[in-house]
Amino acid sequence: MGSLVTPTSGEDGSTPVAGNGKAHAADEVPLQPTEPVEMASAAPLESDKSKRRRMAMLPLEVGTRVLCRWRDGKFHPVKVIERRKMQTGGPNDYEYYVHYTEFNRRLDEWVKLEQLDLDSVEAVVDEKVEDKVTSLKMTRHQKRKIDETHVEEGHEELDAASLREHEEFTKVKNIATIELGRYEIETWYFSPFPPEYNDCLKLYFCEFCLNFMKRKEQLQRHMRKCDLKHPPGDEIYRSGTLSMFEVDGKKNKIYGQNLCYLAKLFLDHKTLYYDVDLFLFYVLCECDDRGCHMVGYFSKEKHSEESYNLACILTLPPYQRKGYGKFLIAFSYELSKKEGKVGTPERPLSDLGLLSYRGYWTRVLLDILKKHKGNISIKELSDMTAIKAEDILTTLQSLELIQYRKGQHVICADPKVLDRHLKAAGRGGLDVDVSKLIWTPYKEQG
């Protein structure tokens, strides 16, 4: 941990010495007691000087880069995004909202001064100048690698100005935790709740209607009156303890808006749609004798000109790594098959969403290629899977399973190579039992 008092070593790492400033060898005559000794006073003077230097830099400016002790007990580089005055304390007593530059924005948090190593403070640099200098130093290959990294962060459709505006508006998490059912969940990102919730660090959600409150007592009173035990829509799928409900945003506007507020706490890149009339929400639940408890959802536009079969997807943090995300993706494609259409997710995808989709596309396509005898075209794969041809092409190209010969793409499916890629893609999620899906496409409902 950083300390406000420095050790007695000099700033250049050397040990302070007495008298003439030269260190004495072992066989030299030591100083006599009657001679003036500077070592005793040099350390406090140096310590006071260092302490004054550090105090002079407080409070830290927004944009400062420094090392911060994280929850793993180690120091990591951060950038100060925002600061706020503590209600009790001196003029320099601030808390700092920091972004860990090695990690995703979901780990941004408020920290206290004692978590920061002030010896590591770097001066605030004008980011436009810094970006220009960095750009001049980078090779074309390095720039391409940086661009690819940004694409995977889920902002590939935002230009530089829009990205800066997005990050400025959403830079500080407004809600730290939520209570939903039996879970207390740390949030990841900013969500634009109504202004009356600006002073709340924690919100309490009804897990059935998704109304949110400031205090636990309010939630308890609400739960005694709320008669919902599942999402307010039609149950279109049930297999074992899993159920899927279709919620029409037009018929259940408040529920749809509350779901968007909740989801935005865990999704960095999505625009919050206040006009939920145009969307259908598919809410996945685990069911028991107390009711149907939401584990995740996806939404889709009722009518999409771009063939989007999914607008937004989220598995709540307590239910992640259980195969639910892959189940939601698979379910969206089963709906596309029922509609007789090919589909693709709306862009941009989040970093976790992109990984999930790449894994799903890889497993589905390689399973077919392993079982299929003879030649097969991308169009045939698209018809069989409801996956858009462009997604099939990019997936197979990334696996180096496709070549361009004589004006057309040719799939090269060596069984050993397929097995290797399938193993790398990991296990699939929970299977969708299509026989348990009872659903009518929206246009036919109308």
The residues annotated with a catalytic role in the active site are 346
Q: State the alpha helices, DSSP H only, in 57-200.
A: 127-137, 140-150, 160-169
